[in-house]
Amino acid sequence: MSHFVGVVNAVPTFVLLSAFALAARLFYGFFRPPQNDINKYPLVNGRKWWSLFATEQKAKFVVDAGGLIDHGLKTAGKAFRLQTDDGVQIVLAGEYADGLRNNPDLNFGKISAEDFHAHIPGFEPFRQGSSNDEIFHKAVRENLTHDLESLNRPLSAEAAVALQHHWSDNPEWHEVELKSTMLHIISQLSSRVFLGTELCRNPDWLRVTRDYTVDAIQAAQDLRVWPPMTRSWVHWFIPSCRKLRSDLAQCKDLVNPVLEKRRLDKERRAAEGLKPEEYLDAMEWMEQAAKGQPYDPAISQVMMAMAANFSGSDALTQVIFDLCGQPELVRDLREEIISVISESNWNKSTIYKLKLMDSVLKESQRIKPAAVALMRRYALKDTTLPDGTKFPKGSKLMVSASDSWDDSIYPDAKTFDGYRFLRMREAGDVANAQYVSTGSSVLGFGHGKQACPGRFFAANELKIALSHILLKYDFKLAPDTKPQSSTYGLFLQADSNARLMIRRIKEEIEL
């Protein structure tokens, strides 16, 4: 026995973990319950009989999920199974979107929680149904969306500061790395609304929230390599998971003192018979939404930062790439901004009146959505759609974004046309033409009751940032630069390496 213990102690920890993972995978593969109901859908990239972990199929999915989905739609029909990097899931054609959109038994939060291992320390911002989750959604619904007009001027002021810092006032042509600077700028704008003036320019906060988003994606990917039954303990040994926990601890160290200072100030003012100071930010909204209920404000703030920063900076990066080489469109956008701001100066109607810009943003999202399949759902129980399509409990679903690139829906669909949705709006189809509208053919914000609740704020933020960029800078692609979207699994990201040439110009009106 002592000899056996000595041998075990001499084996590296990683080797022992790998051996255990292999045994667990064998057990899971042979003894998991049958899924006959899901097996009626064809599997377009099934593993070979000798491939225990479907390694080849998962690797192919990671680099070419879009190609696999296109192949499935052409050869397997409108509903099929796909081996992803996190198990087999069902892909549906765009026509299913309306059937899924308001079904209460098909849940987005659950699949997000599973994708990001929300039960594991460090991934708490992804937990569904927690007090943090409920308070977050209440603050978004009741305050962030409701108070949009009052946020316009603070966002505009912050955009001026952020652009001057990251793009400078240099009137000569010079290069910037677009994606990186957009992430910094959107992070600062969002933090102004989420945290107020105390932390919105704090370099440590801006850095750690950016880090957390990137690290969460990496840590989630690293955990998917391991069988599900091992993840609840193996995460302690994975470097990316340790880094994620460190990020979250730093977030708490930054947020909690600010919130405690506010609470003490409220108590002091109340004792002196004074009205509490008013704060126009999400930190205050969450305090109001909590109504004394215990919650973790740092986790709630990270939830907001993740929702806004990564997607917002990616959208802004892509739309600037799309505008390069479109001088007439840039000219028309500038004229629209000058006309609208001169008349209304960021009041309630300003954002709505930027109709060409709205069209440009929606067209950019149509051409390059956040993923090749969206509207992801988890079946909380056996579910039947209106057309009779059935999914067993536990099924993971997604809807292909391929309708966005269908010439029968959008003529010359692969060509960027910034005026496309403006023409649709002018033809009377306002409901489907707006950037924040959801529909089966443009799924960028999802569709139905579980569509992105923060999309109205996102639209305001992007329009304000883009207004500052267009009026204050000339821009063009750097020499030999041809932006190419990058893919990882389902996700499509604007080129993070492409560089932009910019120069400061004198704006015709003050924003």
- Residue list, annotated binding site for heme: 452
Inter-residue contact 362 to 416 (CB < 8 Å): no
**DSSP designation for 445:** T
Inter-residue contact 370 to 486 (CB < 8 Å): no
Please name which of 43, 22, 70 lies closest in space to residue 373, comparing C-alpha atoms.
Answer: 70
- Distinct helix (H) and strand (E) counts, the chain: 19, 12
CA distance 360 to 323: 9
**DSSP designation for 371:** B
Contacts of 462 (CB under 8 A, 6+ apart): 312, 315, 316, 319, 361
Residues 215, 220, 224, 230: is their CA dihedral positive or negative? positive
CB atoms within 10 A of CB 63: 12
Contacts of 304 (CB under 8 A, 6+ apart): 136, 140, 190, 194, 282, 454
Tokens of 115: 């994708």
Half-sphere exposure of 313 (CA within 13 A, CB side): 24
79 Rama sector, left if φ>0, alpha if ψ -120 to 50, beta otherwise: beta
Q: Residue type for 164, please? A: Q
Contacts of 43 (CB under 8 A, 6+ apart): 80, 81, 82, 83, 88
Please name which of 492, 151, 158 lies closest in space to residue 317, comparing C-alpha atoms.
Answer: 492
For 15, counting Cβ atoms within 10 Å of its Cβ (0-12 exposed, 13-18 middle, 19+ buried), the class is exposed
Angle, vertex CA 408, rays to CA 71 and CA 450, nearest 5: 75
Annotated binding site: 452
491: enclosing H helix or E strand:
strand 491-493
| One-character DSSP codes across 231-249 | HHHHGGG-HHHHHHHHHHH
Size of the chain in residues? 511
